[in-house]
Chains A and B, each alone.
Chain A
């Protein structure tokens, strides 16, 4: 009962204050001029990005440089995490060895369900990323959804199951580097034909084979999908190393 008192005080304050200031608030029914400009120009108009999804066209076209630097922040955060947990070559090999008393993963029911769900997650995340220029979604969201798949495998089987099938930290980092390199290259392509950095129209074709691809948006979304998904996978693989193994490394270093 005593713990409820602050909650009740908080609720009364919120409702009282809301009742008091409601008539004084301005009604937020109009668009800001900048938002209206983006809505009008996203597909039609003179400054078109040829995409019906206004958020994606802001993200990778109108405010593309913002997103480029956000991606570099992402790059630095992942690099920082990997540096904090860095291992030398010998330790990395040792971390891949299974402990002898290790019993493999959870029960059969969870394993079978995971096997189905992982495939579904891969399909859905690819769909989110590659349809980012048509429907809500894009590279960032698709990549975050993709990163759930290895996380599920780590929980249901183990991190050794991922590594035995070829997805270890180095591979994940290579995929991430391909993604980041792709973003940088697509951003630099317009400079070759006399455009400015990260220009979309009219340098990239809006339609490929009759399908609307919205110029450069689909490439950016795909590469961001790779970068985000693989970056988080590398981090999760490091987090999944058992604490015992790390304790062993630390103790050995202290003895030397």
Chain B
């Protein structure tokens, strides 16, 4: 039984790593800036999930890191079953800060679209070089 659980655990981690690789491909190879942003959000979310999984424990009664009752006896069983709280504390801030940074990138993309009329990275490069030659900027 325990081997099956470890197998499922390994499959989850490997799928997350595969998702990271696919989203890195999306960031590097898609020319559309909006699609790059979507790939970036997938990348951050997968990274956050991997960090949360670092704190998980492969035991059967596993509890969240919230003390169930205020007694010293409860504390003993609590320490035996609870997951590691530290990775969760890091991810809480990372999720909200990541959202704010994504909003900033989205604003930049909208502004680029207004100024250049395109969000294609290749066309943006061409337009910029012609603008620089003509001295338009």
Q: Which residues of A contact B (CB under 8 A)?
A: 10, 13-15, 17-19, 21-23, 25, 27-32, 34-36, 38-40, 42-44, 52-55, 58-59, 63, 66-67, 70, 73-74, 77-78, 80-81, 84-85, 135-136, 138, 140-141, 143-144, 228, 231-232, 235, 238-239, 246-247, 250
Contacts and interface: CB of A to CB of B under 8 A. Distances in A.
Nearest to A14: B14
Nearest to B11: A18
B93 A67 contact: yes
A77 B104 CA distance: 6
Contacts of B103: 77-78, 81, 232, 235
Interface string B62-87: 00111100101001001100101110
B3 A143 contact: no
B89 A63 contact: yes
Contact of B7 (A19, A59, A136): A19
Which of the four size classes fits the interface of chain B? 35 or more
Interface centre among B75, B104, B111, by most chain A C-beta atoms within 10 angstroms, is: B104
Given A18-B11, A52-B67, A59-B89, 18 more contacts: A22-B6, A27-B6, A28-B56, A31-B84, A42-B67, A44-B72, A53-B65, A53-B66, A55-B85, A59-B92, A59-B93, A70-B97, A80-B104, A84-B111, A136-B64, A141-B92, A228-B96, A238-B107
Contacts of B121: none
B75 to A, nearest CB: 6
A138 to B, nearest CB: 7
Given A25-B10, A27-B6, A52-B67, A58 B85 contact: yes
B108 interface: yes
A15 B58 CA distance: 20
A42 B78 CA distance: 12
Nearest to A247: B114
Contacts of B10: 18, 21-22, 25
Interface string B90-121: 10111111011101100110010010000000
Given A28-B56, A35-B85, A40-B75, A18 B64 contact: no
A231 B18 CA distance: 34
Given A29-B59, A30-B57, A81-B104, A74 B7 contact: no
B129 interface: no
Given A22-B3, A25-B10, A54 B85 contact: yes
B92 A138 contact: yes
Contacts of B67: 42-43, 52-54
Contacts of B82: 31, 39, 54
B57 A28 contact: yes
B107 A81 contact: yes
A247 B113 CA distance: 11
By CB atoms of chain B within 10 A, which of A17, A25, A77 has the most?
A77
Contact of A135 (B66, B79, B92): B66
Contacts of A23: 3
Q: Ordered nearest first, which 8 A-B pairs have the shortest CB separation?
A: A52-B67, A35-B84, A77-B100, A58-B89, A54-B65, A18-B10, A54-B85, A70-B93
